[in-house]
Amino acid sequence: MKLLTSVFRGNVRVLPAGSWFTLAVVVFLVGLEIAGRYTTSDLHDGLAAFILIGAGLLVAVRHRREPLPWVVRLAAVGRKLVKSAAWLRYDHGIDLRGVPPLPRRTPPVVFAVIAMLFAWGAVAAGLWVAFPTGWRVVGFYSSYTLYLVFMLALWGTLLAVTFVGVFVPVAVLDKRLKNWVGDTDRRGAELAAVVGYAVLVSAIAWVVPPAAVLVLCLVVAVIAWFAYLPKGNDGAAILWRSATDKPVYAVPLRRALAVIVGLTTLLAFDVLLTSCGGRLFDAPRSDDTMPLTALIGTVTAWLMPGLLCVVVVKLYGARSGDPARRTLPTLHVSGADAAAVRHAARIARRWGWSVRTAPAPRETGQVGIEVVDGACSEATEFNPRWPLKVSVADLEAGAVKERLTRRDEIAVRRQLFRGLQKLFKRASVFKGPAGGGFWLAPHWWFVEGVGREDADSAGEDAPPLVGPAYHRILPARARQHAHAVLRATQVDMIFIEDGVTFRNLERALRVLTELYDVHGGKRRAEEMHFRGVPKVKVMMHEYEPSNPFRSDLYPEPKFDDLSRVRVLHIFRDRGASEELIDQPFDFSSTPAPAPVGAAW
């Protein structure tokens, strides 16, 4: 835009001033309306739209040099229209508490948008039925300028979807290539992937009509509707309200995702039907009046299957990697007696464990046992060597099961702390000059990694998410254990202030795990449980509407006012105590009792 402004700045002086410029604009629009009656295809419409864009840029440059009254009035009308649509805006936040439950309700604007999309689809289908060779005749019998504006919006949407449809699958492929070849130069492979994918889609679009893609969009929308219908309780929800004085409602996150997918596919169906409805079942015709729009729409349509595949893979990965799910622990069984090993494996499967037997090697995180005779058993030893030597009788008695479960829990917990240490080292590099901190939440599937509290304060090079993603550092069962501990102690998120070392963070997290172990996951964490943790100040706060975090001594993390989240804050100890401590009693003037038997 600056380049265009610099180009026009030298020529704007030759433009007519005042009303003469307005008259020139009117003459141009009248000429455009007249010329539009003689155009025969959307190829001509594309040229006219390009000229219209140039005229708009010329008006913008002229208005910037000397404000035009009619442009000012049009801008005022636009602002009024935007203000009149203020009822469409909603305050929103996230609910990680879920207790007490809020009334469930989907915003009414969602159903209004669905009705509009259905009406759009019906109108587009009716136009193609009435005008099989192209509905550009609408612009001939109405305003050609408004028709061009609509076509610009349609072409822009198609081109945007085309760009996304090529970029997203290639970006997924680039991540795979990075895992395969490391940090080597991948530009050649990326270029080949982009060109190859674009050529493949274009070849399919040239030969195959896009009717199947539109049917696919409708099928996905129906599946999204069925995913929306169940009323199960989710761990997280989206909060919304229409105004400050209105009640707050909740939409489960599962329903919110279903609504987004359904609306997106319905919008794609309408856009594709509007652009290439005349070529849904047939090859291009010689008398088509909208060949350019149909071509772009067909290419865009055949990019949709790739996008939908990426979405399905992402949703499946999020579902399978959800820390709220529980993966069975794995027991590695070895021993000299093959029959005893098989018997021990059957017993462990009855416990609900996954079993891996020798000669397969024992992997990291698997609990190992060695089946031996009863005389060599170490099932009751205080400090045995692992893999634990047990007999079949010990396994049948069931007493050793608790020991193996505890061993598995300790191994998973060690994996969790080792992974958090790696993440913390990477995240501690990004520190803001004005202070700040990090949000830690490895137990939520929709939180990808460690996030900065304020990315802007940490410098231009600090991304909102720092370090690798949780799923790349933390094993699945480690995140599941974090979910069990944090949900049981009712900690939804953890805020860590800059300057808190990982050793101090580990001490605070150890308090949570000990609380979980001692009370069996039935007691929530409170501030009093963290007294005695050195060099840090731990504070609990429940964010909810009209209850923000306030402190004169410690920094206030930024958070949405409408959210409901119970946050564990870990601050650097400022050296000040918030408790009133009585003065010690002076014993200097207190008489000491004399021993009775001293004189004897």
- The per-residue pLDDT for range 334-348, each reduced to its tens digit, is 888 888 889 989 999
How confident is the prediction for the chain on average, in pLDDT?
A: 83
How many Cβ atoms sit within 10 Å of the Cβ of residue 587? 7
Determine the Cα–Cα distance for residues 371 and 389; give it in Å rounded to an integer: 6
Burial 43-76 (b: 16+ CB within 10 A, else e): ebbbebbeebeeeeebbebbeeeeebeeeeeeee
Tell me, what's the pLDDT at 358? 86
The single residue listed with the structure tokens 């009619």 is: 70
Question: Per the structure block, which two tokens stand in for 488?
Answer: 């049981």
Question: Per the structure block, which two tokens stand in for 448?
Answer: 């990808």
Q: Where does the pLDDT of residue 152 fall: very low under 50, low under 70, confident under 90, or very high at 90 and above?
A: very high
Determine the Cα–Cα distance for residues 226 and 230; give it in Å rounded to an integer: 8
For β-strands 330-335 and 367-371, DSSP reports them as: parallel
SS3 sequence of 193-223: HHHHHHHHHHHHHHHCCCHHHHHHHHHHHHH
Determine the Cα–Cα distance for residues 131 and 137; give it in Å rounded to an integer: 8
Listed in sequence order, the residues at least 6 apart from 104 whose beta carbon sits closer than 8 Å to its beta carbon are: 231, 237, 249, 250, 251, 252
Q: Which residues pair with 541 in a beta bridge?
A: 567
For β-strands 493-497 and 437-440, DSSP reports them as: antiparallel
How far does CA 9 lie from the centroid of its chain?
Answer: 44
The residue type found at 37 is R
Contact 487, 425 (CB under 8 A): no
Give the model confidence (pLDDT) of 68-117 as tens digits.
Answer: 888 888 888 888 888 877 667 788 888 888 888 888 889 988 999 999 99
How far does CA 75 lie from the centroid of its chain?
Answer: 36
Q: Which residue has the higher pLDDT, 526 or 429?
A: 526
Determine the Cα–Cα distance for residues 205 and 354; give it in Å rounded to an integer: 48
Tell me the whole-structure pTM to 2 decimals. 0.81
Residue 7 has pLDDT above 60, yes or no: no
Q: Where does the pLDDT of residue 23 fall: very low under 50, low under 70, confident under 90, or very high at 90 and above?
A: confident
Tell me, what's the pLDDT at 460? 47
**Using omega within 30 degrees of 0 as the cis cutoff, is the peptide bond preceding 100 cis?**
yes
